[in-house]
A and B are shown apart, each in its own frame.
Chain A
């Protein structure tokens, strides 16, 4: 029997993801990759895979795993595999019995069925398997971009009957079981979510009161959220008067319309017409035409991906220097052997 995993149920939406594709900004190709890169990278570390670099800035995409949106994925192992589940808690089972705790690795034996329930806390679970999901690289990454129809398994979400090839093992599966993330590092996804942001390039076009309102409000995630963008329900924001008239022709009628401009490449918070700020996700457009009040820092794109529909969210302010320090701390943690115990 060849190594691999057979999909018995693709769940609500499951895709193959690594830490993403870089170099696509000038072609309109988004980074894609795991929306919660931290969770996927820890899952990979737990099963002895290369975790890849942080969002966007590193060339190494790491091993590919599965991003399981809101749960319900069901798989059967075609051989003995070391696996790990991280991110959202889906109350997973192995052959009907509770699976080992999340954020730890375990042995999934040939013929065993791993089933995820509906996510109870968090919105996206990640499954890594020792050897990685071995789909072809597309432009340097195995990440699926469903709208573009490329990457991952035929550029689409998983369906019943799919067979996921797994890369060659470099260690015995049994030796990789029973590892876990240092318990104090396990993220908690209880609301309200605190998402750190840096001031956006058009923050100055909003009234000072609206900038305060943006940071002072407990926003609720619009349930239509996906990897392209996440809208937040809350108060209307306003723009300063004095907009140049030529922008009506160059950019559009609405005061939120700006002449097309590159994104961050992810994490910019656009506010079309001052209504429902949109945080652009890992599959987002590489350019935008709406004023951006803030930019979510790269490490917190993971926390954004774990917010459930209608859950409360606060956008906290940090400086660019603090954001860089937070990223450096995250990378130090991922490089520290004591992170996995």
Chain B
């Protein structure tokens, strides 16, 4: 559900979370990213950093130079002054990927489970070709960046094309770097070799996290994704994969990142026209914001 008013929660002595709801939704994320932008433009004293995610804006503050109450009052005033979100800065990033790749298969074999892309297909009543067609068929909105360095969460922007598969019941102890995966309807990429429970279905030859910061795409830091990016996946074959990988390693690959602005208001209207409900409700639930 979407809360009537954002709920402020202190996390220990140095952090506050501003929760807008308990569900995952792109419209909710627009409000969080707009608030994050407003806070960057008008940062209160003692605010150390912000961490926007799908339904929550995380704030880290220095309680020795300000108080929780002062930060909350500042954020409440910004929320009150905020109208509907019209536009947001949003880059478009093209991510080439080899679907149904040997590395995802190897991980599945190593942990004794079915090739994950076949499981994703079966779970959604699709063929493997349809999984690839659907995943490359619309933009994915990046709601937040985090977990391990460079990881991100993204969701299909066309509700009709939103699909996925449940996480493994027992996570793998390792996963190859750069594997595309689903955790529910969250689509993401493991930036580095990590444990994980996502259903694996492809591998990108480009870096999602690069502490060497080789390409201009990493001029602002070692992380490719930013909250508010639109990602579009492109299916490539093994030959193209190898060629791009070699260029990435040599530092000559040109990342396909385009600056832009996204028409959030137009998108929200389109969602309503498409019959997408404004929020999720369960009348039998007794869980609430606090």
Which residues of chain B from 152 to 187 have any CB-CB distance to chain A below 8 Å in the complex?
152-153, 166-167, 183-186
Cα distance A324–B12 in the bound complex, in angstroms: 9
- Of the listed stretches A159-167, A199-207, A208-216, chain B binds A199-207
Size bracket of the A interface: 35 or more
Contact, CB under 8 Å: A244 / B58: no
> A320 at interface (Cβ–Cβ under 8 A)?
yes
> A297 at interface (Cβ–Cβ under 8 A)?
yes
Cα distance A135–B3 in the bound complex, in angstroms: 48
- A28-B147, A265-B60, A286-B147 are contacts. A201–B9 as well, Cβ < 8 Å? yes
Contact, CB under 8 Å: A148 / B285: no
> Taking CB as reference atom, which chain A residue is nearest B10?
A320
Cα distance A222–B274 in the bound complex, in angstroms: 50
- A149-B192, A250-B184 are contacts. A324–B51 as well, Cβ < 8 Å? no
Contacts of A259 in B (CB 8 A): 22-24, 54-55
Name B's interface SS. loop
Q: Count the B residues whose beta carbon is within 8 Å of the partner chain — how many? A: 65
- Of the listed stretches A53-61, A182-190, A306-314, chain B binds A53-61
> Taking CB as reference atom, which chain B residue is nearest A318?
B13
> Taking CB as reference atom, which chain A residue is nearest B13?
A323
Contacts of B186 in A (CB 8 A): 260
A74 CB → nearest B CB, Å: 29
Contact, CB under 8 Å: B194 / A295: no
Cα distance A323–B12 in the bound complex, in angstroms: 7
Contact, CB under 8 Å: A57 / B61: yes
Cα distance A244–B282 in the bound complex, in angstroms: 5
A322 CB → nearest B CB, Å: 9
- Of the listed stretches B79-87, B109-117, B219-227, chain A binds B219-227
> A262 at interface (Cβ–Cβ under 8 A)?
yes
Contact, CB under 8 Å: A262 / B53: yes
> A242 at interface (Cβ–Cβ under 8 A)?
yes
- A23-B49, A25-B146, A246-B280 are contacts. A264–B221 as well, Cβ < 8 Å? no
**Contact mask for chain A residues 236-259; partner B; CB cutoff 8 A; 1 contact, 0 none:** 000011111111011111000011
Which of B56, B63, B151, B284 touches A28 (beta carbons < 8 Å)?
B151
Cα distance A263–B17 in the bound complex, in angstroms: 8
Contact, CB under 8 Å: A28 / B58: no
> Taking CB as reference atom, which chain A residue is nearest B8?
A201
Contacts of B64 in A (CB 8 A): 54, 57, 324, 327-328, 331
**Contact mask for chain A residues 290-327; partner B; CB cutoff 8 A; 1 contact, 0 none:** 00100111110000000000000000000010011011
Q: Which 4 A-B pairs have the closest CB atoms?
A: A262-B58, A242-B286, A323-B13, A295-B12
B residues neighboring A (CB under 8 Å) = 1, 9-15, 17, 19, 22-24, 48-58, 60-64, 67-68, 144-153, 166-167, 183-186, 191-192, 194, 209, 211, 221-223, 227, 280-282, 284-288, 290
